[in-house]
Structures are given as structure tokens and as C-alpha cells.
Amino acid sequence: MSKQQATSQDFAAIQHHLAHDNHANRKAMLDFIANDPIYIPRYNNKLEFERELALQRLKKLADKGFISVFDFEKNPLNIFAAHEIAGMVDGSMGTKMTVQWNLFGGSVIKLGTERHRNLLPGVDNLHDIGCFALTELGYGNNAVEMETIAIYDDNKREFIINTPTPLAQKYWITNSAVHAKWSVVFAQTIIRGKNEGIHAILVRIREEDMKPSKGVVIEDMGVKFECNGVDNGKLWFKNVRVPVQNLLNRFSDIDENNNFSSVVKNRRDDVAI
């Protein structure tokens, strides 16, 4: 064996070791990206073009099945493998991938139950693009202090979601400014006058025609220093009504008699996702 052959084999072995897992899918992604001109770097583009390009790049990967929300159940390491490849190619695309599959889809599949699984195919094919409405202007990710409120209406079996102050606006929410139809909204949940703490609720923020849903106000956060393919936005809710079934209820639920139950006994306790 020549020195050149040995060096080539050593490089391949190191490359295989560093990739760690899902080698076939990683290679397939890299080969696909290398042969599609949409992934050629573009510079000095308008904001609208940057956002559409990031989405279309992501859509191509989704259509090829390189990542799936069901990987959380079947092959979690592939979620990270797909992100590693996407992040090397386009930071905006990688960020949108994280929000769609990890934060939005991951919350639905891991915090939700059987009644929410009908949404999961739309996560994978990007028909149902979502966002993750945790961060608030006045509180960052300090969830227990947040102000967004969801009051339960016993008679209609619906949550009424409101943004009571400017500090409570959901802030810097990826996918919300342009592309998302759904949001996982974290809110102080009031049931029969008692604050039962922060819970995650699926809220429709845009209809199929992409117009904001009733009571939802969306503001585009505009141009940033980088990653302008990411459409960050602000969200307000004004008496937005959603059915009780939209509560992601793996750990907390409301039964047919409107009784609330939860395995979370303390508002500051963490539940392993």
C-alpha cells in the first residue's frame, strides 16, 4: 500500500469516526445538496428572497425524507445528524429546521398524546409549519414568570388566550413572521379561578390562506445582522379561543367533567421531555 493510499484510508476512517452515526443518511444528504444548484451560496439578496430560499432549501430536504419528527421515537440521533449537515450549508435553513422539527414538532410528539398525532405528517412535509412561542419580551425564557394567560371556559370547553401587557408579547419567534400556521404557546393556565401554572397549548396563528387567525396579531421583526432567511416575529393574542383538545396533555389534562389533573406538583418542577 502506498503512502497516498494509506493517507486516504486514514482520512476516511477519521471522517467516519467524527460523523459518529447515521452515516448513510449523512452521505445521502451531502450528495443531494452537492448536486442541487439551489444550495449554491447566494449573497446580497433581498430579505424576501432570503426567507423563501431558506424555506425552499428546507422543503427539498423534507421531501427527500432526510429528517422526520418520528425520528424522536425511532432514531433520535438522526435528528442531530440532519441538523449538522443543514447547519454546514445554510444557517438560516438549519435554524428553521430546528424550530420546525425540534421545538414545534418535538413538543407535539413528546408533550402531546394520540389526539395530536394527526398534525405530525404536516410537520414532516411542511404543510403545517409551526413555531415555538415561549420567549416573552419582559421575561425571556423565564417561563414561570410569564404573563401570557389562558383562561379555561368550562361551558364551551375552550381556552381563551390573551397577551395582557406589552411585556407579555411572544418575542423573536422563528417562523412566525411569514411561514408558520401553528404555534405551541406557553401560557399561565387558569382553571376555575386557580393558576395551574405554565402549560403548552396548540394555537392556530394563520389560516390556510396564510392570513392571521382571528385575534392573532403578528409583527415582522425585519432585517437582522445575520440569518435573514429566518423570519422572526412578535405575537399577540386577543381573546383567541382554542378547544381543550389543543392542550398538550401528556403530563397535565382536563377531563370530560372539566377537572384538571397533572403529574407536575410544583410550578417550578421540571418534567423530562
pLDDT in tens, 116-164: 999 999 999 999 999 999 999 999 999 999 999 999 999 999 999 999 9
CA distance 109 to 17: 31
Q: Is the pLDDT of residue 267 over 70?
A: no
Q: Is the pLDDT of residue 2 over 70?
A: no
- Ordered by where they begin, the domains of the chain are 3-125 (1.10.540), 130-262 (2.40.110.10)
Q: Give CA angle at 261 (101, 120), nearest 5°.
A: 20
φ/ψ of residue 87, rounded to 5? -65, -30
pLDDT in tens, 207-253: 999 999 999 999 999 999 999 999 999 999 999 999 999 999 999 99
Query: Of 77, 182, 59, which is closest to residue 119 (Cα–Cα)?
Result: 182
Q: Letter for the amino acid at 165? A: T
pLDDT in tens, 38-88: 999 999 999 999 999 999 999 999 999 999 999 999 999 999 999 999 999
Q: Letter for the amino acid at 263? A: V
Q: Is the pLDDT of residue 269 over 70?
A: no
* Cell matching residue 266: 410544583
pLDDT in tens, 177-213: 999 999 999 999 999 999 999 999 999 999 999 999 9
Q: By CB neighbour count within 10 A (0-12 exposed, 13-18 middle, 19+ buried), where does 268 fall?
A: exposed
